[in-house]
């Protein structure tokens, strides 16, 4: 009879214990979700305050369209892909054909834009006022005339000089775009939040100023910018920079909030359209995320809750993608949010292993990250889209060491990646594992569920009034627990 009573007591304690677990876990999950929601809400509240008068908006729109080109309802584009034939400026980690393919992808990213013709043009330099020689220019004019209904020309180099644009525009009788202007237009289409729109607006200013300087130094009969317009641009730039500084401070505050909750963070970085959002969706199971097969589909730095195999809650940070051959000033405003993201405990560098230019893309990301991170930062390399790659060709690729091949879309290899993240995050976030024997339903057990990650808990087989709890916790949480127990 005594044995039966003891058995019923164990069962009753277990039921109470699991009910308490579910309640505390639900509270913990709401805490994380509320934290993420508040971050997003604060973005909107903080940065929608930037305002302009109708006159300022109209004047700036005219200037922007004049220097960046009108987006219109679409374009039928002829692409010119220049490349340096030899010398120290020649790109040696890619090919003109691969550069052209990326230019096509950029054009196709814009709604109602399509490529109707393309031409690879070898050059000795990109600095001549007349970008191509007279013979090559006549050949290009003939090819453009031979394409049906061309409405714009895209010269796929990072930044054309104003005089180069003016000469090409006069020769072809069509608007001319470079990579800066095409990417800016993509940013405009994909920027949804006030934070992203602010950063895009700042990214425009250096381009417009550069073109104004080119105009002042050239003598092609164009109307000079008046003092009123210059003042408007200077005022706009000053307001935007102030807003950007506020964004920096806001990011610092958010970082402190994240740290105060003790959630380890993982920043996911990589080339544009490498599959960063798809990977986070696969790791978190967040059905609200909608990955898109487009360049620069993600402009906002967003935070998503996930769990590791040991039940540890972590935050994955999605980031804007990188791209080659664009001026530093185009990406500079986005470094505010990017630097905040890569200050995470560990970085996951994801790349598209099926892309023919994958090695050049990897090198570009490594070059961009190097000055921004500590040399001891843990980076996990992830090769996405392994399911569509010819296995025989993998041996020919010089991919980074310790690369984890996965398919984010089909969740191939993601479990192994989770275990790797779990292994690294314990070291990177200075987490410790402890084992405690605590009274069932007591204040210490409740505190541990609230302040730490309980990986396992079972009633003590020798004394059902106690729980044996295995937990993961920060060092600071361990000392807080000691103080709590002394009260």
Residue 43's pLDDT band (boundaries 50, 70, 90)? Answer: very low
Q: What is the mean pLDDT of residues 314-335?
A: 86
Mean pLDDT taken over the chain: 83
Q: What is the mean pLDDT of residues 134-148?
A: 92
As a whole number of angstroms, the distance between CA 78 and CA 149 comes to: 10
Tokens of 243: 């807003």
Q: State residue 453 phi and psi, 5-degree precision.
A: -105, 115
As a whole number of angstroms, the distance between CA 179 and CA 324 comes to: 10
Residue 307: pLDDT above 50? yes
Summarize pLDDT for 71-102 with one digit per residue, the tens.
Answer: 667 899 999 999 998 878 788 888 999 999 99
pLDDT of residue 57: 77
Better-predicted residue by pLDDT, 106 or 69: 106
DSSP conformational letter for 440: T
Give the three-state DSSP class for 387. helix
Residue 139's pLDDT band (boundaries 50, 70, 90)? Answer: very high
Mean pLDDT lowest for which of 144-153, 220-229, 245-254, 437-446? 220-229
pLDDT of residue 44: 44
pLDDT of residue 212: 79
The enclosing H or E element of 384 equals strand 378-384
pLDDT of residue 84: 92
Summarize pLDDT for 108-127 with one digit per residue, the tens.
Answer: 999 999 999 999 999 989 88
DSSP line for 89-137? TS--SS-HHHHHHHHHHHHHHSTTEEEEEEEEEEES-S-SSSSS-HHHH
The answer to whether 210 touches 188, Cβ cutoff 8 Å, is no
The answer to whether 196 touches 301, Cβ cutoff 8 Å, is no
Residue 45's pLDDT band (boundaries 50, 70, 90)? Answer: very low
Residue 415: pLDDT above 80? yes
Summarize pLDDT for 261-293 with one digit per residue, the tens.
Answer: 778 999 999 999 999 999 999 999 888 888 887
Residue 256: pLDDT above 80? no
pTM equals: 0.81
Residue 29: pLDDT above 60? no
Percent of the chain with pLDDT strictly greater than 90: 42
Q: State residue 406 phi and psi, 5-degree precision.
A: -145, 170
DSSP conformational letter for 386: G
Q: Which residues pair with 456 in a beta bridge?
A: 470
Better-predicted residue by pLDDT, 455 or 290: 455
Residue 228: pLDDT above 60? yes
The alpha helices in 313-435, defined as continuous H runs, are 328-331, 335-341, 358-369, 391-394, 414-428
Residue 157: pLDDT above 90? yes
pLDDT of residue 2: 47
In sequence order, the 6+-apart residues with CB closer than 8 A to the CB of 153 are: 77, 78, 79, 80, 144, 168, 172, 174, 175, 176, 177
As a whole number of angstroms, the distance between CA 18 and CA 457 comes to: 10
Percent of the chain with pLDDT strictly greater than 70: 84
Give the three-state DSSP class for 439. strand
Residue 224: pLDDT above 70? no
Summarize pLDDT for 198-216 with one digit per residue, the tens.
Answer: 888 888 888 888 887 777 7
Residue 394's pLDDT band (boundaries 50, 70, 90)? Answer: low
pLDDT of residue 132: 92
Residue 47: pLDDT above 80? no
Mean pLDDT lowest for which of 164-178, 241-255, 440-454? 241-255
pLDDT of residue 220: 59
pLDDT of residue 39: 47
pLDDT of residue 393: 55
């Amino acid at each position: 009879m005594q044995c039966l009573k003891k058995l019923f007591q164990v069962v009753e304690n277990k039921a109470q214990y699991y009910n308490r677990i579910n309640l505390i876990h639900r509270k913990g999950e709401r805490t994380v979700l509320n934290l993420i929601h508040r971050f997003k809400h604060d973005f909107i509240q903080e940065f929608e305050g930037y305002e302009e008068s109708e006159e300022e908006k109209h004047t700036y729109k005219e200037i922007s369209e004049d220097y960046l080109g009108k987006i219109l309802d679409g374009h039928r584009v002829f692409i010119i892909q220049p490349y340096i034939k030899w010398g120290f400026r020649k790109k040696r980690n890619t090919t003109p054909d691969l550069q052209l393919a990326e230019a096509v992808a950029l054009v196709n990213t814009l709604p109602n834009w399509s490529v109707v013709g393309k031409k690879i043009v070898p050059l000795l330099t990109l600095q001549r006022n007349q970008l191509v020689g007279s013979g090559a220019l006549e050949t290009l004019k003939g090819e453009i005339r031979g394409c049906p209904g061309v409405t714009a020309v895209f010269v796929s180099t990072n930044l054309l000089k104003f005089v180069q644009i003016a000469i090409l525009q006069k020769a072809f009788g069509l608007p001319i775009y470079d990579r800066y202007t095409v990417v800016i237009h993509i940013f405009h289409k994909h920027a949804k939040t006030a934070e992203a729109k602010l950063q895009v607006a700042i990214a425009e200013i250096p381009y417009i100023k550069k073109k104004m300087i080119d105009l002042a130094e050239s003598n092609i009969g164009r109307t000079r910018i008046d003092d009123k317009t210059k003042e408007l641009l200077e005022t706009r730039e000053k307001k935007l920079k102030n807003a950007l500084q506020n964004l920096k401070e806001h990011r610092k505050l958010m970082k402190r909030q994240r740290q105060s909750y003790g959630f380890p963070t993982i920043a996911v970085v990589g080339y544009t359209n490498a599959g960063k959002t798809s990977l986070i969706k696969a790791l978190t199971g967040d059905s609200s995320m909608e990955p898109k097969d487009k360049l620069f589909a993600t402009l906002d730095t967003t935070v998503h809750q996930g769990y590791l195999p040991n039940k540890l809650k972590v935050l994955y940070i999605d980031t804007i993608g990188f791209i080659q051959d664009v001026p530093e000033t185009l990406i500079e405003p986005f470094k505010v949010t990017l630097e905040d993201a890569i200050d995470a405990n560990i970085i996951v560098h994801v790349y598209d292993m099926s892309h023919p230019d994958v090695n050049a893309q990897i090198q570009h990301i490594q070059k961009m990250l190097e000055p921004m991170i500590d040399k001891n930062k843990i980076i996990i390399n992830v090769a996405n889209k392994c399911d569509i790659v010819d296995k025989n060709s993998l041996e020919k690729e010089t991919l980074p060491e310790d690369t984890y091949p996965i398919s984010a879309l089909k969740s191939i290899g993601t479990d192994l990646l989770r275990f790797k993240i779990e292994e690294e995050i314990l070291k990177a976030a200075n987490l410790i594992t402890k084992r405690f024997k605590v009274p069932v339903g007591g204040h210490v057990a409740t505190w541990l569920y609230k302040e730490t990650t309980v990986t396992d808990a079972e009633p003590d087989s020798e004394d059902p009034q106690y729980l044996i709890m295995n937990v993961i916790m920060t060092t600071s949480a361990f000392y807080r627990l000691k103080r709590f127990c002394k009260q």
